[in-house]
Each structure stands twice: as C-alpha cells, then as structure tokens.
Structure 1
C-alpha cells in the first residue's frame, strides 16, 4: 500500500472583540464579544487563550499558549499579514492564524478540520477580508518527494496555472497578491533570461513543460530552487517548494498558498482534498500514460475550447471536487484581456469593444461566484468507508 499523503492547513482570519461590556451586537447571537481584561495581558493574548480553551472544550487538542513548535496538536498564533481596514462598531480586530496538526488524508482527520471550523464560526465574530488566506501543506509523511514526482508536479503547475487560477478570486492572483506569486511569471526559471539591460522573455507553456520534465536536474533541491521566487523569496510563491530546498527541513512539504481565507468547512475540506489530489495524481501515475494524456491538454493552443478546471479535475479522477466547484462557480477575472484587433490596413481598431469570453465547460457560472466570507455550513460526512488515521504513525509535515 502506498504511503498516504499528509497535509496541514493554516487558516488566517480577523476576530472582533467589543471594548464595551455593556453593548451587544444582537445579530452576532451568542458569539464571544467581550473578554474581561486581565492585568499584564494584551487583548490579543487573551483572545488566543480563549480560542485555545474553546477548541479544547470542543474536543480539539491544542498546544498551550506560547508553544508553537510541533505538528501533533492545533496552534493558535497571530499573523501580522492579516489586517483590518478600520475599527467598526467599537470592535478591536485581532489577526489570528489557526494551524492544524499534520494529518494523514483520511475522513476522520477531515472531520477534525470540520469540527474546528464549526467551533470557530459558532463562537467568534469572524471577518475574512482580502488580506486573509488559506494555506495547505502536502507531504509524504516522514518521507521526501522523489525528483520524478517534483518534475511532474511542476510541469502540471506550469501547464495549468491559468485553469487553477479560476478557483480563486481576483485578489488572490499574482497581480494583486504578493503572497501567492505566479510560477510562470515570477519564478527563478521564468526569469532566467533577464539581464540588467534586457527585458525578460517569459517561457511559453510548452517550453516550461519540457524544461521541468526533461532538464537534467541533479537533485530535488535543484528543481525546487527553479520554482522559487526570482528575487530569492520562494515562500511567497503560489506553490511554495522552499522547504524542499533545505537539507533537513522541519517539514518537507509543498505549500499551496493561493486560496482565499474562509472558515466554511466544506470549502476548506474540498480545497485540502484538491491539493492532495493534485499531488497524488502526479505521484501515483509514475510516468504512465495518464499523466501524459492530461499534460497534453495544457499544450493545446489558447482557445475558447481549451480545457477548464472542472474538466481537468474530472480527467484526474477528482470528480467530487469537480462537482463542488461546478456548483460553487469559478472566477474568470484572472485571465488577461485579449490583445486589440487590427483593421484591414494593420492599424489599431479603435472600435474593438470585445469582452473576454470564459472557456466553454459543463457548468453555469454564477454572477459573483461564491461568498468566501460564509461563517457557517451544514455538517456532512462521507458515506465511503476508508481507513482511519489511527492505523498510521504520527506524522510531521
């Protein structure tokens, strides 16, 4: 039996506390609005301790406040990258990052994710704005990814970046988010032609696929460096391979950084399963015809008939994920506009008012896609019976 893939998720959010103990916002129901001040403790510390106690009371094991060095329990920390725009309704907005343990990908561990999300949504006034993200780490337990796996994975990301982008809103695109940068445009490989006096010429889709699949990389660390940021910061790429560059990394994982923040449990679980599914697809086919058939779809010239992400997920055997995103809707605001047309004399056609059409697919696109600020969702469990995480040893991502 192949080693199950491991994963962990980091959820960024803002949580509000009311500074007036005599004022209550009725529509927030029984959610925590006020925490009694304690001498020597900042509001943020009080809130993080409160969240730890809430999760513990709900059956979610957490590290004590101030201990953030492990992967066996949940951690509650602060995140300076998540910022509130203003202080409305006398609230103080606290930046919070909720970090899961390292789990193997089984139904019971995904249920733990659901439970934690539900406890947060039911007990706190949570705001998700454009500064908040959701990061998913995928690993091989205690093992390292082989070079062949990484070749196919990077070829996949390069070939289907445009399709994968449609799963995420505009503010999580490379053009608008410095925390999830484009492999095709801002990686070391993409910018290798740049010099002090010449403008970079970005490699095409076919060229990039051939490079990652065929270049004689000496090791996994070498190919991971090519996926890093051209400015030396690989940790802010949409697909972060920086831990693989290290000789003895704390966690040997690939990090998916592009998803928008949310505490919607099904949105989170589906994205986890999508990330794990992508890595598993590039691992399990081991150079077989399945990968060749799928990557060939990325080599097609850009057209309205080019494969969309729903069709792509189905081709990979990720039908449940495809169904979820088909119902939720996609974002087509990331695609660059078509170049202006020329008239018969080769001059710019100033009357060209064409709009970019979305690719054809087997779904209907809702006007505004999906409200990622949803705070509640109904609990659902998978009917499929699968092994549980108890059959496997503890894992460090």
Structure 2
C-alpha cells in the first residue's frame, strides 16, 4: 500500500497563471531546498502576465488578437519606454551549485504586403501570384505595409505578367527578408531592446552584443496555406534570445519581446505545423577552479548532471510529449526535426529497441553508469540522432569535443514544442525545461534511481504529465498543462493524453527493492 503524501487541493492553491497571486507548493519528490540556487529568491510575477490579452483570429491563420488599434500600440510603447532600457539580467546570488541559463528560439511566418500589390511565394512553397492592393483587414492595427518594399526587377515583372504561378529569385527573397529583419530590429529598439541580424557574422562576430536578440531565417518553415493566408506575403523568421539567467526578470524580458511582436505584426506560427519553439538550457558548471578561466569555456554540464537528465528523459519521454500536439510527436510529419530519444538515438540502436525486450532498462543502466566519467563525451555520443535532430538535442555539447573553436553553445536543446508568440505558453514550456535540468542537478542519486526504475515502463495513462511535473518541482506547470490537455481532449480528442487517475489521487513513490536496479 502506497502512502498518500499530497492531494490535488494541496497543489491547487491560488492560480497564479490565471492572474491571482499563487501559493508555492513543493513536490514530495522535489530535492531542491527552498531558495534553490538555480532561481533567485524574491518577488516574482509568475509568467510575467501582462494586462494585454490575446486570442487567435477567426480562421487561426494569424496569432493574437486581430483588432489591435494605433491607440493600443501607443499605450504599449509608453508602458515599456518607462521600464529600464535594454535591461542586462544580473546573475543570481553566488552558490556552490551550478547556475542555470536558458534561451528561447521561436520560428514564425511574418505577414506583409508590398506596394506592387503582388502576392509572392518563394521556390519550393505554394506558388501563387495574386493582385492585391488593399489591406485585407484594415481594422487590424498591426503592421503589414512598409515591412518589405523592395520591388522585383524588370525581368521578374515580365515573368509575372499574365501568370498565376511563378518562382522568383532567391536573391529577391533574401532582400525582402533582410528588410523585414531591419523593421523588427527598429521596432524592438524603440522599446530599448537590442536585436541584430545573425548573418553574415553569425555568433562568431567578436564585436556582437552578447545581450542582443538575434534574427535569422529558417528553411524548414513553410507559409500557411489557409484562405486568409493567400492575401499576404510571408517571410520565415527565427528570433532567438541571448543567454539569460533562470530568473524572473529574464522571463519578463522574453514576455516583453513577445508582446511587442504580437502587438506590432501579423504573425502565423501557433497553427503552423512547420514552426517550432526551441529552448536551450545550460548548467554553468566549470571544473577548473581557476577564477581567471573564462566561464564561456566551461563544458556547460557536469557528467553526473547530464547523465541524470538524459536518464530522466529516456524514461519519461513518452509522458512529456503529450504536452505537444500530435504532429510534434514520433512518426509525425514534422517530428523529423524532433525525433524521440528512445527511437532514433544511438543508444536506442545499440540496445536494439525493436527486438530486445529489456532495451529500455539496459539503456537506463548505461546512462546512469556514466555519472563518474571525466567529461560528457560518451553521453553525447549515445544521444546522437541517426538522421536529423532529436527532441532533446545534445549536439552543442558534443561539438565541444570535436572542435577547438570556442563559438558553440554549452546547452541541451529542447526542440519538441509547437511555436507560439503567446508569452504564457513560452513561459510555461521554458519553466518545464529548466525544471528538468534543475531536477537532474539537485536530485539524490538513490532517489532518482528508484524513481526511474518504478516508472520505467509507464505510459501516460500510468503516470501523467501532471504527476511528473509535480515530481520535478513544477506544480504551477503541472496545473497549467493538465488543464490545457483536458481542454484539447474536449475540443478535438487525443486518445493518447487522457490520464487514468483523478487529481485527488496523487500518490508518492512506492518502495522498491534496491537490488532490482
């Protein structure tokens, strides 16, 4: 008989993400003491919720409320101009524990019109050319004109005459994209937020502002194909934050940028299956006690912590993916860029997940056996993908051992989420990602071994997202995603995500024979 340690009502408290001041409750599995070094203590604003509310357009083509006015825009501008300009996030108090940093990358399609009234589509996407001279939704105060104004040359215009379909040159596409980037950079600068085009200097630019957000294109992002989308041109954009400490002010900065983008532009990403949200997390661990050694040269993760993290993901990957829509899960069309660790990693191949009945247990033992390694090289090798990229990507850590150049990130990348420019969604997924790393950094090894062994073969119906997020010390996100999954089930149905438990029946860990592991 398992001992009951926590109830749904205990966890529920006051719902901070609904605008109330929410009480903090700790999970029975959470090992981090109050005032964890990963997150500075002090007042917080939860998700940094703003007074603005967002809703999707009627046909879900454009994200956010499609009735922003010039007055709304000015209010937002005045609000953010009163805040500190280009805030530099201060590190949390010093501690012997590693400090977590994170960053977000959001892919989206930016809608715009050009003076010629021609609707363009670049090569490889929907090829259409339609005459259009007026704003399709003049009541929408967000910008679509003046973002990209470069006209096609005479040869292209001659090609377009009388044609419904065409392909325009890659050069023209690049010109329009760069002009759109400059428009975004200028907009963010009005609010005191530094932003730059990542190319041509990329991250190798020694003079680049380390606190600046960066913009680049993404060839994997496709234009939306809805009826409303036919009235616009679209530019593929990926915006990435600078490295930020896991601190409430950092989440507030992400919220500011997303609010500005959503209030200024007509964006498509939430319903676009080709757009993803990627969260990078790093543990600021440096094995060299020499204070003169630059922090940027640290390996990023202690082998023990990375082994704990990848073992946790190895066991609970099928539970975590229920957070995401079906097209972001294994075997779906776009999961080629976020393939499962338990299916497509070298570790899964080595233990032959197709025929070996004990492959998952064997893989878990292998990962945990690498805690005492001198570096993370072997762990990264086992977590390499067969073809594309895994949902939990260690490539940036692996490159540390393959190049002498000091330009790559020291992060693990969480690639599974659907893109969104809604601050609440980005905040909660970022908190899950940092929570998993924090859990791996602080959990007692014996407790973790027992925890993973007990739930090794669990499916989402056996051990839910709600229970897992409570276990890693993220009850706020547990409640957020539990409600979101239930709403999704009611709207469209998702047979893989309905838990078999009632919220009141939240139980602790059963006893396990340690000799079994």
TM range (shorter): 0.7 to 0.9
What are the superposed Cα offsets for residues 16-64 of structure 1, whole Å, 9 maximum, x if unpaired?
1123384113266111111262478822121111011111112211125
Question: Which one of the candidate residues 109, 116, 131 is aligned to 1:14?
Answer: 109
Deviation of 1:207 after TM superposition, in Å, equals 2.4
- Please, which moves more after superposition, 99-108 or 61-70? 61-70
Name 1:272's counterpart in structure 2.
430
- The 5-angstrom pairing of residues 106-145 of structure 1 reads 106-128=247-269, 129-141=272-284, 142=295, 143=298, 144-145=300-301
The residue number in structure 2 matching 1:359 is: 499
Q: Which one is further off, 22-31 or 75-84?
A: 22-31
Aligned residue for 1:371?
A: none
Work out whether 1:219 is the aligned partner of 2:360.
no
- Tell me which moved more, 19-28 or 113-122: 19-28
Say if 2:186 is the partner of 1:53: yes
User: 1:258 aligned to 393, 416, 430, which one?
Assistant: 416
Q: Is the 8 A contact 2:351 2:359 kept in 1?
A: no
SS of aligned partner of 2:453: helix
1:31 and 2:170 are equivalent in the alignment:
no
Q: Could you tell me which of 347, 351, 369 is aligned with 1:189?
A: 347
Tell me by how many angstroms 1:299 deviates: 2.4
* Matched residue count: 335
Q: Write out aligned runs for 1:168-179 (5 A).
A: 168-176=324-332, 177-179=335-337
**Structure 1 residue aligned with 2:452:** 295
TM-score, with structure 1 as normaliser: 0.77
* C-alpha distance in 2 between matches for 1:327 and 1:303: 15
Q: Is the 8 A contact 2:303 2:375 kept in 1?
A: yes
1:148 aligns with 2:281: no
Taking the aligned partners of 1:329 and 1:357, their CA distance within structure 2 comes to 7
Q: 2:198 & 2:310 partners in 1: Cα distance?
A: 38
What do you get for the CA RMSD once the two structures are aligned? Answer: 2.8
Shift of 1:199: 6.8
| TM-score (norm. length: structure 2) | 0.60
Give the counterpart of 1:62 among 195, 199, 207: 195
Aligned to 1:374: none
Q: Distance in 2 between matches of 1:77 and 1:44?
A: 9
**Runs of at least 5 residues in structure 1 that lack an aligned partner in the other structure:** 338-354, 365-397
Specify whether residues 34 and 275 from structure 1 end up closer, same or farther in structure 2 by C-alpha distance, changes over 3 A only.
same
Q: Distance in 2 between matches of 1:362 and 1:108?
A: 35
Q: Is the 8 Å Cα contact of residues 135 and 255 (structure 1) preserved in structure 2?
A: yes
Contact 1:5/1:104 (<8 A) preserved: yes
SS in structure 2 opposite 1:152? Answer: helix
The aligned residue for residue 81 of structure 1 is 220
Instruction: Extract unaligned runs of 5+ from structure 2.
Output: 1-94, 118-131, 152-171, 285-294, 505-517
Please say if 1:283 is aligned against 2:441.
yes
Larger Rg: 2
Out of 90, 98, 101, which is 2:242 matched to? 101
Alpha-carbon distance in 2 for matches of 1:138, 1:95: 24
Name the CA distance, whole Å, in 1 between partners of 2:358 and 2:108.
Answer: 36
